[in-house]
Amino acid sequence: MPVHTPVLTEAASARVAAAPVPTGPSCTLQRSGSLWQLGIEAQELTTAIGLLAEKLEADDDTRAQALAELEAALLAEEGNKHALAAKADATCWVIEHLRGQAAYRQQQAKRLTELSRSDAGRADALEESLVLVLTRLQPSATRFSFPNHELSSRKSQAVEIDDEEALDSEWLTVTTTSKPDKAAIKEALKAGRHIEGAQLLSRRSWRIS
């Protein structure tokens, strides 16, 4: 069976030759030198302040020196608002990081405390069950020896109160505690009253957002 091959005319060939060659989308990554440099400087500032923050857990002299270095670094930019803002911003980054880390560790500590309590409870239950079985088999035994462990006991005495109300006063101890009623003292001071041993302080709290 003959195969017919289409033949382009001169006009069609010209149109094909003139058609634009398709190309993929061009993608260039451009970084502004100034912005890139600012990013590096901000990271360096944050790292430096983070290192100073690590010294705050040391002895009093090292802590005082670290705080003095930070204050000096901030005061050095007193006449340069941009540089001062950059250092203050880097300090805020470190503060936020430390507080976030503290919150995470607090959650972990709570979780570990709960796990510890659970482990201890299971261990106590297993021990009670083991002792119950062994003493049932050998009621007079006070010590049990195993290939790798030894279970021993000691005798002790403890008082258990069945009814505290039934006890005579001679068997009771009286404990009295007192503490300042700060809410009442605050209202009285705000009203203009003078209270010996107390004063009203005005404070300003700060929050990083």
- The tokens describing 194, both together, are 């003078």
Instruction: Calculate the average pLDDT of the chain.
Output: 81
Question: Residue 132: its pLDDT value, please?
Answer: 95
Report domain extents, the chain: 33-114
Alpha-carbon span 24 to 51, nearest angstrom: 48
Q: Would the pLDDT of 38 be above 80?
A: no
For residue range 131-176, what is the model confidence (pLDDT) as tens digits?
A: 999 999 999 999 999 999 999 999 998 899 999 999 998 899 988 8
Q: Which residues contact 42 (CB under 8 A, 6 or more apart)?
A: 86, 89, 90
Q: Is the Cβ–Cβ distance between 5 and 47 less than 8 Å?
A: no
Q: Which residue has the higher pLDDT, 177 or 52?
A: 177
For tokens 């003493």, the residue is 135
Q: What is the CA radius of gyration of the chain?
A: 39
Q: Would the pLDDT of 60 be above 80?
A: yes
For residue range 165-202, what is the model confidence (pLDDT) as tens digits?
A: 999 988 999 888 999 999 999 999 999 999 999 999 99
